Structure 1
C-alpha cells in the first residue's frame, strides 16, 4: 500500500507542474491577445477565469503531492515547487485587489453630475451584452458617489462655452484618449458641446468610456464629465482617478491661457524653496490660478 503511494506521487507531481504552466500560458495568451491583437473582452474574461481555476487546481494538487512526499518519500519536489510558485503567483494577482475592493466603493460609473450625467450616444454601440449598459443607475450610484467622492462636482469657469470646449478637447488629447465624437457648442444645438472618448488601461487594455458636456454662454461655461467601465461591477478606482485627472488637465489648460499665468508658473518653478515639496508648490499654483469651481 505504501509502495503504491510512492509510485503514484511522481505522476501526480508531473501533472501539478503541467497544469500550472498551462494555466500561465493561457493567462499570458489572453492578456497579450486582448492588449495587442483585438481579442474580445468576454473571451479574455473567460480565459482568465479558466487560467485562475487551473492555477488553483495546480496548487491544491501540489499540496497533496507535497504531503505524500513528506510522509512516504519519493521524487517530484521540483515539480511541486514549480506548481506552488507559478500557481500561487497567479492567484496572488487577483488577491492583491482585495484591499482596494474593501477600501473603495463598488462603483463602475462616475460623473460630476449624478442628477444629469452626460450621455453615451456614439459609444452605445460598443456596449453590447454582456457589457454594462449605458444608462446611469442613479438609484445605486448617486448616493454612494456623494458619500465617497464629494469633491466631484461640475467645473465652472469664467470663459465662453466655445473656448472652454476647445480647451477640453485639448485636455482629452493630452490624456491620450481616443476621441470618438466631438460636437462643438453652436446656436443650432443650444450651445451644448459634447465629446465622447475611449481610454484604454495600460496592461490588459480594458476600454473605458468617457463623455464630456460643455454648456454656457459668452461669459461662463460649465463642464460635466462621466467615466464608466464597460465590464465589471467594481472599477477599482479607475474612473474617479480618470475624472480627477481630466479636471486637473482642463484647469491646467485654462491656466495656460490666462495672461501672465505661464510666466508666473515659470517664476514659481525657478524659485528656490527647499523646505517645500515640489508637489506642494504645484498644488499651490493650481489653487492660485484655478478657475471658479462650485
Structure 2
C-alpha cells in the first residue's frame, strides 16, 4: 500500500505570499521612477509590499516548524517564501536604519537658500513643507557641508563644477555661466534616486576677492524624509570638488593666475622693440 505524503498548506501559502511581494515592490519602484504614480501612492504600495513580505516570512517560518513535527512535504516552498520575503524586506530595513541614523530633513544647503533657488521645483502647494536642520545639528551630522573657496576665478571654477555635474549624470535644467571672471554662475539639476524619489541640486559659483566660492543646495521634492541623501550628496560632491581643484593647481601652478587682457601684454617682443 502506497502512503501519500501531503504538502503543507502553510508552505504553499508562504511561497505564494513571497511570489506576490516581489512584483508588488518591483512594479511600485518602476512606476515611481517613471513618474506614473505619485510619491504618496508609492509609499502606500511599498508599505503593502512590505506587509505581504513580512507575512511570507512569518508563514514560512511557521510552515518550517510544522514540517519539522509532521513530516509533510514543502520544505522548498517554505524556504522559498521566507527568502523572497526577506529579499523584499531588506530595502525596507535599510531605509529604516537610515531614518534612525539621519534626522528628518528634506532640504540641505551650505548658505542662504534665497541664493540657491529651486528652479525646477513643482507647485509648492502640492508639496510637504521643506524640513531643514539647525546650524549646530547640520554641523554635527554633515561636517563637510560648507561653502568652498578656491584660488580660481569664477569662470574656471564654474567649468570644473559643470563638468563634474555632467559626469554624475544629473539632468541639468539650468546652466548660467559667469559673464566675467568675477561674476556669478548657477547650475540646477534634477536627480532621480534608486527608489524613484525626485531631488534637486543647485550649485552657485561666485567670484570673490580671493578667487571663487562654491555653494550647493540639495532638496527632496515631495518627500517627508530624505534618509540622509541630500546632505551626503553635498558632502560627496564638494569633497570631490576639493580633490579636482587640488589636482588642477598641483599640475598647473599658474592656473589661478588672472588673464591679462592688456593688448600690450600680448604683443610679441619683436613688435614691442623700438625701430633702429
Give the TM-score category using the shorter length: 0.7 to 0.9
- Structure possessing the higher radius of gyration over alpha carbons: 2
Cα separation, 2, equivalents of 1:256 and 1:23: 48
8 Å Cα contact 2:144-2:235 kept in structure 1: no
Paired residue for 1:121, among 118, 123, 141? 118
For the aligned residues, what is the CA RMSD?
3.4
TM-score, with length taken from structure 2: 0.73
**Shift in Å, 1:225:** 0.3
Q: Say if 1:127 and 1:207 are closer, same or farther in 2 by CA, change over 3 A.
A: farther
Gaps of 5+ in 1: 1-5, 265-288
Candidates 15, 18, 25, aligned match of 1:17: 15
Change (3 A) 1:174 1:101: same
Shift in Å, 1:70: 4.0
* Correspondence for 1:262 among 225, 248, 251: 251
Matches within 5 A, 1:20-99: 20-35=18-33, 37-42=34-39, 43-99=41-97
Aligned residue in 2 for 1:143: 136
Query: Match of 2:237?
Result: 246
Q: What CA distance in whole angstroms lies between the structure 2 residues aligned with 1:40 and 1:126?
A: 17
Residues 1:177 and 2:175 are matched in the alignment? no
3-state secondary structure, aligned to 1:204: coil
Give the Cα separation in 2 of the matches to 1:77 and 1:192. Answer: 66
Q: Which residue of the partner structure matches residue 268 of structure 1?
A: none
1:199 and 1:262 mapped to 2: Cα distance?
32
For residues 208 and 98 of structure 2, the distance between their equivalents in structure 1, rounded to whole angstroms, comes to: 41
Which residue is 1:106 aligned to?
104
Name 2:185's counterpart in structure 1.
193
1:224 is aligned to 2:215: yes
Deviation per CA, 1:92-135, whole angstroms, max 9, x where unpaired?
Answer: 3322345444444333322212x446433321127673x544x5
Q: Distance in 2 between matches of 1:116 and 1:205?
A: 25
Task: Provide the C-alpha distance between the structure 1 equivalents of 2:170 and 2:128, rounded to a whole number of angstroms.
Answer: 20
Would you say the 8 A contact 2:154–2:178 is kept in 1? yes
Q: How far apart, CA to CA, are the structure 1 residues paired with 2:108 and 2:212?
A: 21
Unaligned runs of 5+ in 2: 257-276
CA positional deviation for 1:46 = 2.9
1:215 to 190, 206, 221: 206
**Retained in 1: the 8 A contact 2:8–2:67?**
no
Aligned equivalent of 1:285: none
TM-score by length of 1: 0.69
Q: Which residue pairs with 1:274 in the alignment?
A: none
Q: Give the total of aligned pairs.
A: 249
